[in-house]
Amino acid sequence: MRFQQIIREYFSFTKNERIGLVVLVVLIGLILVANHLIFYFEKPGKIDPDKFQKLIALLEEQERRGEKSAEGYLFSFDPNAIDSIKLDSLQLPFYVKRNLLNYRSKGGRFYEAADFRKIYGMTDSIFDTIQPYIHIAESREVRLAPEVEKERPQERPVQLPVTPKPETRVEPIEINAATADELKELRGIGEVLSVRIVKYRQLLGGFWGLDQLHDVYGLKPETIENILPYLKLDSTRVVQINVNFASAEDLARHPYISYELAKALVRFRSENGFVNELQILCEKEVISEVDFPRISPYLRTKN
pLDDT at 81: 86
Q: How many CB atoms lie within 10 A of CB 53?
A: 10
pLDDT at 167: 40
- Give the integer Cα–Cα distance in Å for 219 and 189: 8
| pLDDT-above-90 percentage for the chain | 25
Cα angle vertex 238, ends 233, 243, to 5°?
Answer: 150
Whether the model pTM is above 0.85: no
Cα angle vertex 106, ends 100, 111, to 5°?
Answer: 60
* Paired strand residues for 90: 73
- Give the integer Cα–Cα distance in Å for 155 and 139: 26
3-state secondary structure (DSSP) of residue 106: coil
Contact 248, 227 (CB under 8 A): no
Contact 79, 118 (CB under 8 A): no
pLDDT at 43: 56
- Give the integer Cα–Cα distance in Å for 102 and 218: 15
Q: How many CB atoms lie within 10 A of CB 39?
A: 7
What is the 8-class DSSP label of residue 66?
A: T
pLDDT tens digits for 228-255? Answer: 999 998 888 999 999 999 999 999 999 9
Per-residue pLDDT of the chain (303 residues; tens, 9 = 90+): 566 666 666 666 677 878 888 889 999 988 888 776 765 665 555 556 666 666 666 666 655 554 444 556 788 889 888 887 788 778 888 778 888 888 888 778 888 888 887 787 778 788 888 888 888 887 544 444 445 444 544 545 455 454 444 444 457 899 999 999 999 889 889 889 999 999 999 999 999 888 899 988 888 999 999 999 999 988 889 999 999 999 999 999 999 999 999 999 999 999 998 898 999 999 989 999 888 998 999 999 987
pLDDT at 126: 84
pLDDT at 143: 45
| pLDDT-above-70 percentage for the chain | 73
pLDDT at 86: 81
- Give the integer Cα–Cα distance in Å for 96 and 104: 12
pLDDT at 165: 40
Closest C-alpha to 249, from 240, 262, 260 = 262
pLDDT at 61: 63
- Give the integer Cα–Cα distance in Å for 109 and 169: 32
- Give the integer Cα–Cα distance in Å for 103 and 94: 14
pLDDT at 183: 92
Residue type, 252: A
Contact 302, 241 (CB under 8 A): no
- Give the integer Cα–Cα distance in Å for 224 and 222: 5
Q: How many CB atoms lie within 10 A of CB 105?
A: 9
- Give the integer Cα–Cα distance in Å for 147 and 122: 45
Contact 119, 99 (CB under 8 A): yes
Closest C-alpha to 62, from 116, 123, 118, 131 = 123
pLDDT at 5: 63
- Sequence-separated (6 or more) residues with CB below 8 Å from residue 205: 238, 239, 240, 241, 254, 298
